[in-house]
Structure 1
Amino acid sequence: MSNTNATFPSASGGAAAVREYHVREHHPEQGTLLGFWIYLMSDCLLFASLFAAYAVLGRNYAGGPSGAELFDLPLVAINTAFLLVSSITFGFAMIAAQARKLGGTMLWLGITGLLGLCFLGLELYEFYHLIHEGAGPSRSGFLTAFFSLVGTHGLHVLFGIVWLVVLMFQLAKHGLGAENMRRLSCLSLFWHFLDVVWIFVFTFVYLMGVLP
């Protein structure tokens, strides 16, 4: 925020009499959040398209394996727990930030990032195992839709982790100022959004995929 002072002679022509005007320039406090909500809505459309494609192609096995034969539900359940717990730890980070506790904010953000990395690690292991078993994305329409949907979500989680690391550097340098609080709020929305999408993935792809 900056102030600009301007002086003008008064209408009476007095040499000493001046009027002082203050011009304020400021960042619109809700502008960033509004723009980010618009971005999230566009991401909703992206995932809705991927879910629609999976709904069409999810039973096109082309003589290959089905979800019931491929999916390891206990492993996916553990991965789901990693992501859901990371949403809780991010909530703790936001509570610490609102209390102006920089150390606590950094700690909970670090734990959130580690849980996100665990989620990505298990997802990459699942992809490697499927491809090693000959169930790559080109094997059938079902697997193409599966890798597209789950892989797109995984890329979003990777982007969120990169964003989180960059934000931690910004917090260490500039503290919990207004700009970093806005960035934290936007990342919080993004992270919780990914959790909601994953709940739909877990239910629609994995749980329904093992049904006959």
Structure 2
Amino acid sequence: MLPFADLLLIGGAAFFAALVGGVTGYGTGLLLPPVLVPLIGAEAVVPVIGLSALFTNASRVAAYRPDLDIDRLRRIAPVALPATLLGAYGFTLLSGRGAAILIGAMLILLVPLRTLARRRGLVLTGRGLTAASFGYGVVNGGTSGSGVMLLTLLMAAGLTGPQVIATDAAISFLLGISKSGMFAARGALDLRLAGLALMIGAAAVPATFLARRLAHLLPGTWHLRLLDGAVLLGGFLLILRAG
């Protein structure tokens, strides 16, 4: 069992990450790894965040339910689900050092991916959407913070604003169930880690509903820039520690 001070730190980080994620549409899985890796090890981070995200995404679906796009959900989830299982299985084969390097590298790469896609006005339909959904599934299964990739995919498929947040949460919830099942079956998610994930999820739920209110009050994109800076710094720190 972790010391109380560490649990308090994790709970606070979970609340803040969920608050940011609820406002921006992503960030929860990107901000937590730099806090969790030194405390529970890199190999436990993706399973713990994956299970805790079930609570975050369920509450986000409830908060944004009227904005859920069922059509995009049906197009993306069935393709991404088997790919998620494949990615999760691959992650269980990594060592602690390999897991840390993979997570850190993905944190660094996903931020410019979102920026590049937005600037180029990426549009996805038909086969392009199917291929992107499969690629997202693999990344989602094996890393933390892939929500930025799904966010980009949904925006490229024509969704905007609250539609993106609601549909992202619904897809992530469905994939998270299968992902956590794979980790449990492979022995990467025991009762101790499941308890920690439950605590993180409980700390994140109230932040999600608070974020729903803040999303309409914050002007401009300054919060996205701060988030991107924090994510990039965290990614570099994880890689340096693994080295």
TM bin, normalised by shorter chain, reads 0.3 to 0.5
TM-score computed with the length of structure 2 as normaliser: 0.31
- Which one has a larger percent helix, Structure 1 or Structure 2? 2
- Which one has a larger percent strand, Structure 1 or Structure 2? 1
Higher relative contact order (CA 8 A, sep 6+): 2
TM-score computed with the length of structure 1 as normaliser: 0.34
Larger Rg: 1
